[in-house]
A and B are shown apart, each in its own frame.
Chain A
Amino acid sequence: DAGITQSPRYKITETGRQVTLMCHQTWSHSYMFWYRQDLGHGLRLIYYSAAADITDKGEVPDGYVVSRSKTENFPLTLESATRSQTSVYFCASSESAGGRYEQYFGPGTRLTVT
């Protein structure tokens, strides 16, 4: 499928388990991002990547790990899930189209930690 996809779309896991959320984009965009959106709130940046093998922390990185070995993939791992990580997670990608860098978002993954 063209565009940006996330899997799974829904996930229920238990406290302490490791969970990996997948993100795949077909546009070869340089930038990729992971956000979390808590109920009724805006987006908070977890991690971002400017290119393959270049990643950096965002506003709320604790408890999360990312990697980017290929341009098109940007998985997010919760090392030991906690209830406070229950949220909707959005992946996005971006490229410099004349310096604009508008972001294109995946459909989101709704994660519940019990």
Chain B
Amino acid sequence: AQKITQTQPGMFVQEKEAVTLDCTYDTSDPSYGLFWYKQPSSGEMIFLIYQGSYDQQNATEGRYSLNFQKARKSANLVISASQLGDSAMYFCAMREGYGTNAGKSTFGDGTTLTVKP
């Protein structure tokens, strides 16, 4: 079974509108972390936001927020006020494990977001 599922291969949003990118995860570990990364067409991978499994509040970083619903095992990325520069592929990832595995993450297949002017 996939550990990270991103069900939207592609999404479109109008400039200045908000958009939600879906991510569900599967783990039996009580301690884990969830990440979102952005990959523009130039190819680099950029860390956006992090949510720990024990964090009480949803993470926010500027226009990015993570809608963390632990019971549903979902960690959706919300981008507010979309800009043309937000057009990119977005990856959800999860870290779990301990010891030498603590830093290892599993990535989803990604969602391509296109912002329309």
Contacts and interface: CB of A to CB of B under 8 A. Distances in A.
B110 A30 contact: no
Interface in A27-79: 30-31, 33, 35, 41-45, 48, 50-51, 54, 56, 58
Nearest to A93: B103
B31 to A, nearest CB: 8
Nearest to A59: B106
A108 B44 contact: yes
Given A100-B33, A102-B35, A45 B44 contact: no
A105 B43 CA distance: 11
B50 interface: yes
A92 B103 CA distance: 11
A103 interface: yes
Interface in A80-114: 88, 90, 92, 94-96, 99-105, 107-108
Interface residues of A, number: 30
Given A33-B104, A50-B103, A105 B33 contact: no
A78 B106 CA distance: 23
B91 interface: yes
Nearest to B6: A42
Nearest to A102: B47
Contact of B47 (A42, A50, A90, A103): A103
Nearest to B45: A105
Contact of A101 (B45, B46, B105): B105
Contacts of A104: 47
Contact of B103 (A35, A42, A88, A101): A101
A102 B103 CA distance: 8
Given A42-B109, A43-B91, A102-B35, A96 B44 contact: no
Nearest to B46: A105
Contacts of B108: 42
B105 A103 contact: yes
A102 B94 CA distance: 10
Contacts of A45: 104, 106
B107 interface: yes
Interface of B: 33, 35, 37, 43-47, 50, 52, 91, 93, 95, 99-110
